[in-house]
Structure 1
């Protein structure tokens, strides 16, 4: 049997189920408003940043390596 783990759970709904505020960010221009809203909210906040699977998000740690082998950015 195979399990498809390509999709993540809905972290916004999970946050809301626990009484927290859930915010989903899908575009670069949504980041600052989401952070401002989170900072203005008196309760726990979960921000779900939706990032393309192929995007280079730094820092990265290669598979099987320690944190000392972290890649800091593009050369």
Structure 2
């Protein structure tokens, strides 16, 4: 299992336990991931850290002073 953190700007867009689809985006030398439909975005990852799975499950949502952070788990 692999866990990744995503930044979510608004509360209530997804729920713990929900199955989600992931879209991969590419920068010149890095990759990033978006929970569809554009609910939350990951940080940047190098080529060797790319996510293989395109579906995952939300396991936690935390509220901080900087916004909401979503933790998702993937079968890898």
- Higher Cα Rg, which structure: 1
TMscore range, shorter length? under 0.3
Q: What's the TM-score, normalizing by structure 1?
A: 0.22
- More contact order relative to length (CA 8 Å, sep ≥ 6): 2
Decide which structure has greater strand share. Answer: 2
